[in-house]
Amino acid sequence: QVQLEESGGGLVQAGGSLRLSCAASERTFSNYAMGWFRQAPGKVREFVGAINWSGSRTIFADSVKGRFTIPRDNAKNTVYLQMNSLKPEDSAVYYCAAGDLATPFKVIYWGQGTQVTVSS
């Protein structure tokens, strides 16, 4: 069982940046691809991006491509979501997930989520 804990959410102005962190409880973290999802009020949870276990491959939703990156540090059992040029429509609860880098991303474990609010 891998437990995931997100942190780093908060309030930011449009055009700003924010970095979310997702810390895993197990060393087996490096065995998994890691994904980020988000869910805005009244909307379904949507895929944001993901990175493979080694960090050599990333994929992103079109809505965030070129603005978001996903660094990971297997030595620290941590993956990040670096969000730049934020827009009000990026406001949502962001969840990290461990799983398989398939299409669609196959989630095995979820984090509890962290709120991101982008003001206009």
What pLDDT shows up at residue 119? 97
pLDDT in tens, 22-69: 999 987 888 999 999 999 999 999 999 999 999 999 999 999 999 999
Say if strands 10-13 and 114-119 run parallel, antiparallel, or are unpaired: parallel
What pLDDT shows up at residue 21? 98
Give the 3-state secondary structure of residue 56: coil
What pLDDT shows up at residue 76? 92
